[in-house]
Structure 1
Amino acid sequence: MTSLSTPVQAASVGHPAYSQTFPCEPSTAEIGRRLVRDVLAIWHLNDLADRAALIITELIANASRHTPCPEIRLIVWRPSARRLRVGVVDREPSRLPVLSQAADDDESGRGLLLIDAVAGRWGYDLQGSGRRPWGKEVWAELRTEGDE
């Protein structure tokens, strides 16, 4: 089982960010939840921890289910004092996320619906330049209450 090799040490000023690479497998979700909670505690954003942990869990599940990538990068970022962004980067730019309705009897397929319900907004950004992106980041943002 993979674990955090070093304690989370995220900057608490400016536009801080934290990222780390992990195996692209369902068991990474537990590590991702812990990482998100630890970073948000450092940033004094504990009130967002449950929603952010749900989001990172779903993003990891989607990456491990829908991409053949051996690794993913988890990102927790403060693009501004009022926004928190959590994301997963994989190396499969051709498999883009699509919000769809799952049938009542489907056992999966609701991850993006959950993210859409709890996040202020979500989306994806292709990584790399030009016509040949090397990957994508699927992300979701939450609004903070901070006045930093």
Structure 2
Amino acid sequence: MTSLSNPVQAAPVGHPAYSQTFPCEPETAEAGRRLVRDALAVWHLDDLADRAALIISELIANAARHTPCPTILMVGRPSARRVRIGVVDRAPSRLPVLGPADADDESGRGLLLIDALADLWGYDLHGSGRRVWGKEVWAEILVESGQ
């Protein structure tokens, strides 16, 4: 039995997904890891849980550090072969940039870690035209054949 607060339901179109809204603070990482692990367990993809939990932790840390707003955590399966983990915030002007970190830097390695762990990562802006209200920073993990 999982600790997801809502029963498992397929989306009306496409593949199932879970989302929850949390405050934009570092403490949200624990809830994010739980959401990711629970969703993966429902899909019988427990072998991806450690990698996915680390990715969501880094996405949340970046959102908490760089945005002042509530965060929506997303875990979905855009296809049978992919799991997408994302964080939505209302700071579309603060786009993620993959950059180098010096050896003595105390931070700045989150996207480098995500880049190493994920099979693909990026961001999508939400809204249209001049009414862009937010962005989703996401990472995808490929599912092995037969899972």
TM-score, structure 2 as length reference: 0.91
**1:59 equivalent in alignment to 2:42:** no
Whole-angstrom CA distance in 2 between matches of 1:147 and 1:11: 22
**Aligned twin of 1:10:** 8
State the shift of 1:11 in Å: 3.2
State the shift of 1:129 in Å: 1.2
**Aligned twin of 2:36:** 36
Whole-angstrom CA distance in 2 between matches of 1:91 and 1:67: 8
State the shift of 1:130 in Å: 1.4
**1:113 equivalent in alignment to 2:96:** no
CA displacement, residues 96-143 of structure 1 (integer Å, 9 cap, x when unaligned): 000001100001100000000010000000001112200000000000
**Aligned twin of 2:144:** 145
| Identity fraction in percent | 73
Q: What's the C-alpha RMSD, in Å, of the aligned pairs?
A: 1.8
TM-score, structure 1 as length reference: 0.91
Q: Which runs of 5+ in 1 are unaligned?
A: none
1:33–1:8 CA distance, 2 compared to 1 (3 A): farther
Q: Equivalences for 1:22-101 in 2 at 5 Å?
A: 22-69=22-69, 71-101=70-100
Asked if 2 retains the 8 angstrom alpha-carbon contact of 1:8 and 1:35, the reply is no
**Following superposition, which runs of at least 4 residues in structure 1 exceed 4 angstroms of deviation?**
none
Whole-angstrom CA distance in 2 between matches of 1:111 and 1:125: 18
State the shift of 1:28 in Å: 0.2
CA displacement, residues 61-103 of structure 1 (integer Å, 9 cap, x when unaligned): 000000111x100000100000000000000000000000110
Whole-angstrom CA distance in 1 between matches of 2:107 and 2:56: 16
